[in-house]
Structure 1
């Protein structure tokens, strides 16, 4: 292994790193545990985590593969998108129709522990990295994982056991409520563009009096997908502003086809609406194109660049994003125009009913 230090890093003392490497390699009693590849991955992960940003992460090959499976929409697991609220691991959203959505897991729950008997795992989440948490929760179909959760309004932590399944999550689900089209956008992934185009064609056939764009429990995904969706409802202007570390702002213009510009629109959001879904809701709110109904969104206002490094990868936070009017939603979320809680004690969807009422 070359130990030559590039001149641009001459102010950094790498001797300590190599001294630890050599001592570990030479002195650790169980040589079978000294896996050089894992040592390299661990060192890189530590370096990346040192910046203190939970969304800037190094992904070893297996975790990189899982991340791409998530965006592709097919994987084995429980079906939740997780992230951080401050420093606490949290459920961004349970994906519709998945094992997590069928048990007592809700957007905004904090995950304080993960247990898996098959993996002989009992993990507290203080200081855990996002890839490590995903790795702990993910597993083969038919196996179980237990999450220890805390929830606002619930006095004590509680445990939920979830049996993993093979999950194939669509991006778009279109239904009709009377004369109103109800379009659920579940994520912004690899398949979203194709599914979105089909949904738009079907909406035109339905010829509805109004449209509900349902972004509840949409954890986000690709930025370009959000820009395209916003462009179906807004003819011109910026869908979002990007701001780099020096404060330089760049607008990203809407680039959709404007096929739904004239249809009356209500957007549904909740605390499971994050990232790209907040970009869409923020743009439609700022332009006065739609009423936003529901509860305050998750509040993820940063942009990550995904870089392939062979079979591994790295996500680096490169910018923050702002709504067209310059609002930064990070950690605080986007407030709806009409606040409506969904009462879990009833079978009725109060937020959907409010949206239908506004479009009558």
Structure 2
């Protein structure tokens, strides 16, 4: 048995969902087998299934669904959904990469492809497009007077905040919501190029761990995002990883100089124990447990404990952990009791408890874990486990 703790926010109201230790939401609430799940500040559960967006509201017995909303209506392939404020969610999409991401005109139609939509619930319970995310919030650190200095044309989607002509973050691959602390409610989105920070309908893009290959920047696809216990942003892509302490000012998220604006505990690093830098490590999860230890999960290379040698070093220290039946991992979630939950591609859900012992979580149907989402604001906290067999929620178990 393990016990998920409650929120440290104090004012959080108890959630309205059933309190059993393990609840199969696919069976009880007919949520089907979605590809992604999210929860907003009002405990609405959002679901993504191809061109359909669903929401299961407290007190209802099944979700409401809407089709072809936003980019889905234009034929783009959806990827992930992430919860926002009460009644709002963000939906990510794929788009083709550009051979040359620098555009000379905002009239180029490729500017409006892919990226991210904000959707919302209407008062009568319908799901509608709120807007295609396009408000880049950029503050000039030299002025320091609160003025906005980003004067790009509107309605372009997500562009580089320091230069709207660069259309690099085109496909959304991952997202994580800040569940507590100073930046509670903000969302970080991992893309084919970097990490975009969202506050409501405003964004700043982007930050990324990178490496250089004969003068070319290699950024990697960001599939792994996490929030550390102190609010640091944990970023890992197919090659490298980084740890950023975010400035409170959204407009400074992409600022790299001076480095004190967004201090980096790890700037752009890799684990030589896994592979050489040019080889893919395929990171799919990056979490910190309550004891302060960091863990990385790979699609092909198993579970690794990270030790930071130096913030400025490219190579950090990694130790591979034994105890799992497979090296093919999909996701990680750290919970308030000190556990680390590990999603696998072919062996279901596993738990490493605070004593570093591994056990299979047998309450979860399915062999492939698609997503792990931990919400400490539930009472008790809720771990959403999405597999090839549907959605199960664990709490107080």
TM-score by length of 1: 0.25
Q: Which has the higher strand share?
A: 2
Q: Which has the higher helix share?
A: 1
Report the structure number with the largest CA radius of gyration: 1
TM-score by length of 2: 0.24
